[in-house]
Structure 1
Amino acid sequence: MTPPRRRLDAPTDLRPGDHVCWTFSGAAGLAAAVLPYLDEGRRLGEQLLLVGRSRPALEEAVSALPGRADLLAGGQLVVRTTDEAYAAARGEDPAAQVEVYRREVEQALDRGRTGLRVAADATGLAGGGAAEHRRWHRYERLADELMGAVPMTALCLYDAALGRDVLGPLALLHPGGHRGAREPLVHLSGRGPRLSLHGEVDVTQVDDLVRALVDVAGAAPGEGYPPEGSRRDGPRRDGPRREVVLDLSDLDFLDVAGARGLVTAGRRLAEAGTGLRLVGARRLVRRCLELFDGGVPVEPA
């Protein structure tokens, strides 16, 4: 089940299944986020995993955590660098990193913990070019799906200095978020049998949505059409190689810019060999989509 999209003012009152995108600024901002989050997990008997770019910086961030020395000595709190924790994510298969976390959850339960609680500064993994962004977007979608199935809670931390172009698509791949004064409006979810949109899509969200949707719905490297790096004019004449269904039944609002964005995403996916079919569209959402003849099938609720 997909949790409702919500804005968080504090990284607390979180339980297994919660997956949060949290932006911070500087060492003080990082500590202010991870301390209450990990302390809540400590009290819930969860296995705690803290990940970031520098081990000394991470240890400093949790210096005020109650019982820190005992937590580290007893193994309830584990500190890892990004390179140690996300080696699989730097490869071509984001699913491999998700399986790493699935095993971490199983090991935590075997040790008598109530679940796994991860705080990960993923700033260094979110940069790079289009290929790196695409890979990380797919990872975040798969990780969210995992959290809907196992007792895991995640606080994905990103430095606000990354900027809106990087943070926007990442934020809407999380059902919970904190981006300063920016109100989260929409969540693109992979939980359940199909992709689904929850919340509202307007002109302020559409560019982020198109990028995230094309990245997570597109074929994995090597499966797309045309081959990576090649060029071709127009969609495949023999039709898409695969189809992705996007459920709009929990989409409360869609403006004209949002409708144009969904049709644009459908065209881009079709050019890469993936068909997009929209289902569950409410009446007003469907009417907006029908303004554009983009070759994207729309089925009513």
Structure 2
Amino acid sequence: MAATPLLPKSIQPFPTIPRSNRLTHFANLSFSNNPSPDLSFSPRKTPIIRPNAKKKNPWLDPFDQGDDPDMEYGALFSDGKQEEDPRPPDNPDNPYGFLKFPSGYTVEIASLGLKIRGDVRRCCCVISGGVYENLLFFPAIQLIKDRYPGVQVDIVTSARGKQTYEINKNVRWTNEYDPDDDFPDPAEYTDMIGVLKNRYYDMILSTKLAGIGHGAFLFMSSARDRVSYIYPNVNAAGAGLFLSETFTSDSTNLSEGGYNMYHQMIDWLGRPK
């Protein structure tokens, strides 16, 4: 028996609203619960709050007496540009524009010339002892100034010996550091090494009897020439590895030599070129 095919149901058309009634249809919609909102935009006005100026509480800072009427308040550089060191003019004929070397200066080979001639531009003297030892070192400082014209001499000595250099015109700077302290504070020790390295000394002299410890201290200063006295006994073992010139003391106390206590170092400084 042949089955009858199922015919699709007819789809009813969507209800349409006449064109003439479209506007009136939506116009008659009423929003009884929600009244029509006001679509006009109005910026929100922030009220300006001006706090009342209160007086300072004198109990917070009883020592605050207000501004000093005698103090002048002004800019730090109100008088104009600060004074600067004079600088030689640049060489306009230099073909290398990135090398701002003035005429007559050869900065790139200055260290080589200093090494060949053995010139000393900056010298540091580490003086052991007190006032007596530092006063007797004055002739050696004068000899350094005469042998190397224009040299800058700095001193590293104890607090007692530092006061003697207030009457010495040949010394540029004097730093307080006790080289005779066998167990220095680590912070002071490393700080002094940093000070000596940052000054780029060409020669460093020491009147302290050096062992391997003091020899390493002078070596870490990065000076080109490291000259020092050493112990006359077994304590001097290893010091010569860090020093470029050594003087063996006659005894363990240099001050026993009197006014001629530094004769070995003075003879070396006064050697012919």
Q: Structure 1-normalised TM-score? A: 0.30
Q: Which has the greater radius of gyration?
A: 2
Q: Which has the higher contact order (CA 8 A, sep 6+)?
A: 1
